Amino acid sequence: MKRLIVLIVLCLVIGPVNLFAQAYDGSTDRKMFVGSTMVGDKFGIEIQSDDGINDLLSYGAKLIFLFSKNKDEFDEFDRISSAFSKFDLVAFFRFHFSETLNLSEKTDPYLGADLSLKALGGHVGFKYNFSETIGMYAQAGHNFSGSFWAATPEHKDGDFMLNRFANKTNISVGLTFNIYSGRGYR
């Protein structure tokens, strides 16, 4: 019975697929991303907004919040700075290759650069749209160094906090929602 209900829900969500769904629409594109992320060995959630500049470029921001596995693994220093050390605000710039590689309009591979409060890095990702309004994404990235706060991932004397984002690989998967397509908000 559970399988039947899941199958019906999937058919209702994926069934009304628009044949002209586009993963990236260029300057008229505005998407929201909601997904799960893994930064190093920490699991969390992320919310992104991506705005198109032209057919090849976009910019945006994302907010990442990491969950704690076990409160006992933190020392007193971590408990004090824990709330701030678990989130990061990221600005990014992306290059989209769907049009350049002459791929289907439903797909969008991209490459990006990240500048956040806690790390500098890059990412590569792929979006696939099921319909005009909903799709999915997968993204992998690496933060090469720390940025404005706590340049290293280890706590050192004089550091304000532990940096859970610097020098870490991150992987994200989730859903995309087209919130603006040049014809008005949906």
- pLDDT single digits (tens) 167-176: 788 999 999 9
pLDDT value at 4 more than 50? no
Instruction: Give the range of the structural domain holding residue 85, as residue numbers without chain letter.
Output: 21-180
- pLDDT single digits (tens) 156-170: 555 555 677 777 889
In 3D space, the residue among 23, 30, 76, 71 whose CA is nearest the CA of residue 53 turns out to be 30
Q: Is residue 133 part of a domain?
A: yes
11 CB contacts (<8 Å, ≥6 apart)?
none
Residue type, 45: I
Q: Is residue 29 part of a domain?
A: yes
Q: Which two tokens stand for residue 146?
A: 């720390």
Provide the number of structural domains found in the chain: 1
Answer whether 96's CB lies under 8 Å from 24's CB.
Answer: yes
CA distance 137 to 152: 29
Report the SS3 class of residue 167.
coil
Q: Is residue 169 part of a domain?
A: yes
- pLDDT single digits (tens) 40-66: 888 999 999 999 888 889 999 999 998
- pLDDT single digits (tens) 88-107: 899 999 999 988 888 888 89
- CATH number of the domain within which 54 lies: 2.40.160.20
8: DSSP letter: H
In 3D space, the residue among 42, 33, 20 whose CA is nearest the CA of residue 162 turns out to be 42
Report the SS3 class of residue 2.
helix
Report the SS3 class of residue 124.
strand
